[in-house]
Amino acid sequence: MILGVFAGTAAVALAIALLGAPGTLLLLLGALFGGLSFALYPLCVAHANDRLTAAERVGAGAGLVLVYSAGAAAGPLAGAASMSALGSAGLFLFIAASAAAAVAFVVWRVSVRPPPPADRQQAYQAMPRTTPISAGLAAQAGENESLSRHA
């Protein structure tokens, strides 16, 4: 999943850089770029948490936030430098190159590290987006609504 999202981010960023003309297509590409690029951090955090023990998660989370912060500080400087050198398309060319480098890293990493053993894998479990208390309140509201219909 991470490989596909990085590849999609690289492709869309390159398309934005090469398009260069405002219009509906640019807006659609911008929306697609945002959807792909903003999903990367949560995907990477989820991947890291899948491979860690409970005791390692706090330290790894701190490390991920530190690396994210370093990128948030260095990225604008590198993006501005690429725009100075390449013009307005330079920002998205820089992002495309960064995402392509991440694709290369993911391909290399997948080739040198085996997947988790089958006994550590499990099927996807859909989780409700509510707390147990609010789920109970929703169920109670549904019961009250059905009672008022029959009254």
Element at 90 (helix H, strand E): helix 90-112
pTM over 0.75: no
- pLDDT, residue 103, reads 96
- Least confident piece of the model among 64-73, 83-92, 105-114, 120-129: 120-129
Percent pLDDT > 90 in the chain is 50
| The pLDDT of residue 146 is above 60 | no
- pLDDT, residue 139, reads 65
151 compared with 64, residue with greater pLDDT: 64
Average pLDDT of span 56-77: 91
106 compared with 21, residue with greater pLDDT: 106
Q: Cα separation of 151 and 2, whole Å?
A: 53
Q: Cα separation of 67 and 55, whole Å?
A: 20
- pLDDT, residue 20, reads 74
Average pLDDT of span 49-78: 89
Q: Convert the pLDDT of each residue in 7-48 to its tens digit.
A: 999 999 999 999 877 889 999 999 999 999 999 988 988 888
148 compared with 7, residue with greater pLDDT: 7
Distances (CA, A) of 81 to 22, 73, 151: 23, 13, 70
| The pLDDT of residue 136 is above 70 | no
Would you say 39 and 6 are in contact if contact means Cβ atoms under 8 Å apart? Answer: no
